Chains A and B, each alone.
Chain A
Amino acid sequence: MGDFGFGSFVFDRFAFGGLAGTTAVATGAAVAAILTGLYLLKLRRRRVLVPFAPLWLPAGGERRSERLARRLRRWLSLLLQLVFVALILIAGADPRSAKVDRSGRSLLILVDRSASMSATDEDGPRLARARTIARELATGLGGADRVMVASFASGITAESGFETDAARLGAAVDRIAPSEEPGDLGRALDFAGAVLRGRPRPTLIIVSDGAFGADDLARAAAHAAGIDARFARVGKRADNLALLSFAARRYPADPSSVEAAVVVQSFRDRASDVVLEITAGADARLVDRVRLHLAPHERVRHLLPDVAAPDTRLVAHLIDTGDDLPADDRAYAVVPGIARARVLRVGDADLFLDGALLSLGDGVSVHRRAARDLEATRGSWSHYDAVIFDGVMPSPPPASGHFIYLDPHGPASPFPDRGVVRDPIISDTQKGHALLRHLSLADLNIGEARRLALGAGDEAIASALNVPLILTRARPEVRVVALAFDIRHSDLPMRAAFPLLLSNAIGWLGAPTAPEAESLRTGRSLRVLLPDSGAERPEVAVTDPSGVTRTVAAQAGAIEIPVAHPGFYRVAAPPAAPGAPVRTAQTLAANLADATESDTAPAAKLVVAGQTLRPPDPPVRRARRPIWWWALIAAAALSLAEWWTYHRRWTV
């Protein structure tokens, strides 16, 4: 067989993972030539003087067979050396059967590490069982299979490259850590498609409980084309109670009062009784506690109307559920801060009115201007949430803004004045109106009231026999609340209803409500826009629920905060100006809040793109030793044999 024929024979049948085949051959030829040259030099014998040669020689001289044996020993030694070098080069080339290599699979093991995989229904967490399955799959390779291990929740983590080494694959599996994020199967399959593209016999094994939503499966279908996808199921049962949402808001009229709403769902097949606790603050002060009863798979929305919230941070906790997934037994909420209404009071000093406004506390910021400064304030009315005209009538009346008129009268009054009514008695009220919330006007004594005419869009909130005493105007540009009487000619200022009425009026006029505290879900990123602080690349300190603070640099005026764990996140905004102190801008609450993850019922099957994924093939056998390993063993054995024969003078 000629050289080219032999070369074709070798290169067609083997692929080389180490030294290139041609490099190995060239190196082998060079080493063989050097070795043979050295050996020929070594064949030059030592000259030794002996005192009496006949003692060394048999009587007839050396026999022919002995000469022949001597030559054979010489060439045998050279042959052993060349074979040894050849074995070393073979090991270095790492040859693999090309036929076997082509038929080997490119296997991607995707392990689900989403929140539901922390359910403890597999004699421990599902993720531990998933790791065991992954390890068995990784070590039970076929002849030329190459395996990559990756894990996914909301993001993908490649734990290894494509490997054949069982020990490295096992270490990669051990690195898979649980998460509190929902799983994104579509993204995982997108990753799988990218890494398996162009590889021989691409095979994907998803090790998961199959807790994926319909949307997720639909997205996944788009990325599953052309891949032999299999599903290895973990999980045994569904036994979970979950807090699916938790939110809190302040009452505008009483910012110190908080209304909390929580959604609890049972994913059990049996009825459950559970205790829900709400705690506040860093010291987890109990602020509310209720017992809930849930039917099998029932979802309950529970409103807690009056939660004392001395602190903005609330934690809802399902106590002693005994379920499989504790991660969703807690939820977090941030109570929005108190929004301050800016109120301008124009009029002479009035103790009752000022006192009532003062009693509204931090929810209102009151500015006072004397009656004579009425026109001077016209330009600033749009800056206020409410402008109270106490006995003054701007002329012309404002066409836009939010106003409270106390005793409007005269030609500048927004409501035409039709005369006076003495001792009106309130006969009708709109009890459900926002202005009358939490107050009662019964037995209100009014000495005298004006008979005001209602126009389009006007509404009488409280009347005395069709004489509106408290009225509102709601037009696109202007909103007005008017009291048709002088409060000083009534006992209203001395009632508790007065400040409530004022608060309700300010609220009705459109006082700023505290923004909804943003609620985050784990697995997403929070994007926070930063005020322009003048710094070239502002940085923000983000403290996660575990208390670890890290600095995040802004990109294009915003930062991305990955939300991996439920709990409270604090974001310290940059200083308003260089050199100014840093101020805490926001506290954010993050929750799992994912019914798909909380529903720990393992999927009986996983259907992607209309196809039910089959289980993976059982592990073939223990990973075989590669050729290079055997070549090294043979080289070591040959070296030992050569040493042994050398000392017996069978070789030289």
Chain B
Amino acid sequence: MSAARAATTSATTAERAERFDERFLRKLESLAILTRRSRISFGQIRAERRSRRVGAGIEFADHRDYVPGDDLRYLDWNLYGRMERLLVRLFEEDEDLSIYVLFDASASMGAGTPPKLDLAMQVGAALGYVGLANLDRVSLLPMMQTRDGHLAEGLPLARGKAHILPWLRFLSQIEARGRTSLAEAMHDFLRRHRGRRRGLVILISDFYDPAGYRQALDLLRYNHFETVVIQISAPEEIRPSLRGDVTIRDVETGEERELTVSPGLLDEYRRRHAALLRGLAGYCRERGIPCFPIVSDLPFDDVVLRVFRAGGLVR
């Protein structure tokens, strides 16, 4: 077991320190500049939702269909005259955006070369930094169990780029450990943030949860959190190179099974893995949750830009 734990440890202390080095910081700053120039913000993530939260700001944002109960002052009569259709105006929300970056730090995230956890933390840190640079409040929360079985505490909401260094120090200490339970993690998150302002949740995980991902995503939706899903797979998980007679051991549950890995079994595995990803993407699409499946051998800055570009966040 200790050998297995050592195997899932994402990196040595020295390697973790290298993960967030000077080069990483320069890239973060480049991303922040780029997003400011491109006028990228997390605000746009709240587009394309029927049950939108209309802000009290003065800047016109968009129209939507009138539903009984809407304030009649916001009906756009000009459009009604033209189109004979009742539409209400929406305005920019003026208040600060709270961004919660939740990243999976369970044992399964230690798999891959480089470990998926590394990319998860880099992406999380980068997205958080962009938020900090935009004067949003950002919180980093690892989804992992402490040694006594509780979910770990994360970093509270903070504003300003100066918080990036403590963040990086915090992230350097993170090891992939424990079991994945997305639903439990969401329960715990919601419990700790009950009564607080809603915001944006960026959920970074491999979504290898025996209980599934639906309950966790539904919990966030039901509690009015905007959600972005980033699913990480390692190249070895997409195209495993196992052969022959093996005893597989689940890195989180410790379950062992004897297998003879044949080409047929590999095909079956790939189908299941693809089905898992398809299922997640489909579930998110149906619920308007942006979902970004990525592979862990990509550079984190590519991932971040793809998240923004593919999510239509560029104005």
Contact = CB atoms under 8 A, between A and B. Distances in A.
A47 B249 contact: yes
Given A45-B247, A649-B260, A53 B237 contact: no
B183 to A, nearest CB: 16
Nearest to A42: B245
Interface in B94-128: 107-111
Contacts of A4: none
Given A56-B269, A57-B257, A48 B263 contact: no
B245 A49 contact: no
Contacts of A70: 245, 258, 260
Nearest to B245: A45
A48 B246 CA distance: 7
Contact of A55 (B8, B258, B273): B273
A50 interface: yes
Contacts of A51: 107-111, 206, 208, 234, 237, 250-252
A45 B260 CA distance: 9
A221 B264 CA distance: 80
Contacts of B247: 45-48
What 7 pairs across the A-B complex have the smallest Cβ distances?
A: A649-B262, A52-B208, A51-B108, A53-B250, A51-B111, A45-B247, A70-B260
Q: Looking at A46, A51, A70, A73, which has the most chain B CB atoms within 10 Å of its CB?
A: A51
6 contacts: A46-B246, A48-B248, A56-B265, A649-B243, A649-B261, A649-B264
A49 B269 contact: no
Contacts of B263: 648-649
A54 B210 contact: yes
Contact of A50 (B248, B264, B272): B248
Given A46-B246, A47-B249, A649-B243, 9 more contacts: A46-B244, A47-B256, A49-B248, A49-B249, A53-B249, A55-B208, A55-B269, A56-B257, A62-B257
B79 interface: no
Given A45-B258, A49-B7, A649-B263, A56 B208 contact: no
A344 to B, nearest CB: 116
Nearest to A55: B272
A238 to B, nearest CB: 81
A579 interface: no
Nearest to A70: B260
B108 A52 contact: yes
Contacts of A74: 245
B157 interface: no
B12 interface: no
Contacts of B8: 49
Nearest to A50: B248
Contacts of B255: 53
A53 B4 contact: no
A62 to B, nearest CB: 7
Q: Looking at A47, A50, A61, which has the most chain B CB atoms within 10 Å of its CB?
A: A50
B298 interface: no
Contact of B260 (A49, A52, A58, A73): A73
Contacts of B253: 53
B72 interface: no
Contacts of B62: none
A43 interface: yes
A82 interface: no
B276 A55 contact: yes
A48 B257 contact: no
Nearest to A53: B250
Interface in B233-290: 234, 237, 242-253, 255-265, 268-269, 272-273, 276
A52 B250 contact: yes
A652 interface: yes
Contacts of A52: 108, 206, 208, 237, 250, 252
Q: Looking at A45, A52, A54, which has the most chain B CB atoms within 10 Å of its CB?
A: A52
A218 B129 CA distance: 120
Nearest to B262: A649
Contacts of A43: 245
Nearest to A58: B268
Nearest to A646: B244
Nearest to B268: A58
Interface in A54-69: 54-58, 61-62
Contacts of B250: 50-53
A647 to B, nearest CB: 9
Interface string B76-98: 00000000000000000000000
A73 B255 CA distance: 25
A346 B261 CA distance: 128
Q: Looking at B237, B247, B262, which has the most chain A CB atoms within 10 Å of its CB?
A: B262
A340 B237 CA distance: 117
Nearest to B273: A55
